[in-house]
Chain A
Amino acid sequence: MDILVILFLVTGLLFFLGGAIGIIRMPDFYSRLHPAGKLDTLGILAMVLGLAIYNLHHFSFESLLLSIKMFLIVFFVFLSSPTATHSIVDAGMRAGLRHWTKKKRKG
């Protein structure tokens, strides 16, 4: 059981680390939103999964309820985080921000 918890927590940490590195290293606005939107969402799923399993150590109705509440957090993050990313990208496109290309633009 503990191994499973550690596994999920480490997976979540890896995703968060990847997201953080991606936000710094990616070349432009749109590609930075990609790790920010995707990896954080998956990272929070793995983290909360691990914590919910850890919470079920002493199995009772209350702890089960608490675990379900934790998954409500995941549900709302899954709904809101990609939508927020989508709307930011949408606003960027409408404001006329050009996406990054590998060719160096002159000037």
Chain B
Amino acid sequence: MKFLGFIVVCLTGALLLYGTGQFPAWGDPGSPASTHLSNYYIEKTVEQTQVPNIVTAVLADYRGFDTMFETSVIFCAGLTCFLLLRDFTEKKERFYRHRPTGVILHVKDSEKVLKVGKEFEHIDKDFVPSDLIIKTVCRILIPFIQIYALYVVAHGDFSPGGGFQGGVIFGSSLILLAISYDLKTLVERIKEKVLGIFAAVGVLIYVGIATICMPMGGNFLNYGMLAPLLPGDPRHVRALGMLGVEIGVGLAVMAVMAIIYINIVSEGRHDEGL
């Protein structure tokens, strides 16, 4: 069996190597990838958009529709996760810990609710003792991660990066909070409603900026028409429009990351998990 696998691997490798022989040479100006559209972007981007980075100009300006629908796909992913998994039934069993003594109470009656405060605290069913080292380090790291995420979003129109990456980094800082403390801490800090509103507002910012261009006299997503609304050099107006769009994308991605994580990890109950 191992020998058979070896033969299959060798054959596949040989086929792939044979295929590379047909590739155009490295940097060949006559290759299909560098004959049609690329030249246009390279020649005209600075002239047409005044954006210093061609990659972001292509992504957010020339292919603005593509990025817009990507954002709405992300929003739909979060929405689907919520609709499929969210479970509003209250759990019957609850576990509390008496803080001064460490005694754990198992409450089976769903009517009885102990007041959580200085005396009692919620704990998960699979009791995980809080780890001081992990909590402290995560508490130090999370603000740095979030500042870096904001930096990536804010730099989105000038250097590679932008809303998607920044949103994912911000969302991962929220997930880190949930892992190092517990899920309740995260859900208390950012309410489920707030996350949902963030996800929707992010998409709305993108579509809103695109739509404002229309009454200003341009096409949908034609950032150049925003010039009278924005202060500063009118040549930078496309970069500013992209920045606004990236902020919307970042908000949506951040919220959707958190929604997906919370729903999957707690099976939709938002009470405990991992």
In the complex, what distance in Å separates the CA atom of A73 from the CA atom of B242?
30
Select from chain B the residue with minimum beta-carbon distance to A90.
B131
Contact for B137 among A80, A90, A94, CB less than 8 A: A80
> Does any Cβ of A come within 8 Å of B144's Cβ?
yes
> Does any Cβ of A come within 8 Å of B134's Cβ?
yes
In the complex, what distance in Å separates the CA atom of A79 from the CA atom of B142?
12
**Residue contact A80 to B133, C-beta cutoff 8 Å:** no
Interface secondary structure of B, over-half rule: helix
Contact for B133 among A76, A83, A94, CB less than 8 A: A83
**Residue contact A79 to B141, C-beta cutoff 8 Å:** yes
In the complex, what distance in Å separates the CA atom of A79 from the CA atom of B176?
14
Cβ of A79: which chain B residues have Cβ within 8 Å of it?
137, 140-141
Chain B residues numbered 115-159 whose CB sits less than 8 Å from any CB in chain A: 128, 131, 133-134, 137-138, 140-141, 144
**Residue contact B134 to A86, C-beta cutoff 8 Å:** yes
Cβ of A83: which chain B residues have Cβ within 8 Å of it?
133-134, 137-138
**Residue contact A76 to B144, C-beta cutoff 8 Å:** yes
- Ordered by A's residue number, 17 sampled pairs between the chains whose C-beta atoms are within 8 Å are A76-B141, A76-B144, A79-B137, A79-B140, A79-B141, A80-B137, A80-B141, A83-B133, A83-B134, A83-B137, A83-B138, A86-B133, A87-B131, A87-B134, A90-B131, A90-B134, A94-B128
Residues of B within 8 A of A (CB): 128, 131, 133-134, 137-138, 140-141, 144
Q: Can you list the 9 inter-chain pairs with the closest CB atoms, starting with the nearest?
A: A83-B137, A87-B134, A79-B137, A86-B133, A83-B134, A83-B133, A79-B141, A90-B131, A79-B140
